[in-house]
Amino acid sequence: MKLSKGFSLVELIVVMTIIAVITAIGVVSFTGLNKRSRDSRRVADLKKMAIALEVYRQENGTYPVLENTLVPDYLEGLPTDPKSFSYYYDRLTEYSYQLDAQMEDLGSTTGSYGNNCTGTCNYRIVSP
């Protein structure tokens, strides 16, 4: 009887296949997690802007024409999208506005808006 101290070719192929499948699953999961993380930041950024807009309206009686008016008194700086998309502010009337953003995870969005978006905005916050 001959004793071998190594692995057979079939055993190595099986192990490499298992490692490749596990790696592929990990990459797909990680990509989805990154999208959801960036979307969460977008929602937080828009809510922060909405709070600053409400404080501005309480102090000045109307919403600002441009979002730049919020800096530096109400926001340290305008939030920027984590993936070079843009946030859109639109003052509809003196007493109403809307904030739009483009989300990556389409399963968590509620609509498709395109009034002033260069891409397809699919998340909107409207003044209360």
**Residue 3, domain member (yes or no):** no
In a domain, 31, yes or no: yes
126 strand-pairing partners? 98
Residue 96, pLDDT score: 92
At 107 the pLDDT is: 64
In our burial notation (b when 16+ CB lie closer than 10 A, e otherwise), range 56-86 reads bbeeeeebbeebeebeeebbeeebeeeeebe
- CATH number at 38 reads 3.30.700
Given this model, what pLDDT does residue 118 score? Answer: 58
Report if residue 5 sits inside a domain: no
Q: For the chain, what is the domain count? A: 1
According to the model, what pLDDT value does residue 33 have? 84
Its pTM stands at 0.73
- Is residue 48, in this structure, part of any structural domain at all? yes
Residue 4 lies in a domain: no
In which element (H, E) is residue 18 found? helix 9-60
What residue numbers bound the domain in which 85 lies?
11-126
Question: Does residue 6 fall inside a structural domain?
Answer: no
Average pLDDT per 10 consecutive residues for the chain, totaling 128 residues: 77 93 87 86 93 93 90 90 87 91 73 60 86
- Examine residue 2 and state whether it is found in any structural domain, yes or no: no
What's the pLDDT score for residue 85?
84
How confident is the model at residue 128, as a pLDDT?
A: 80
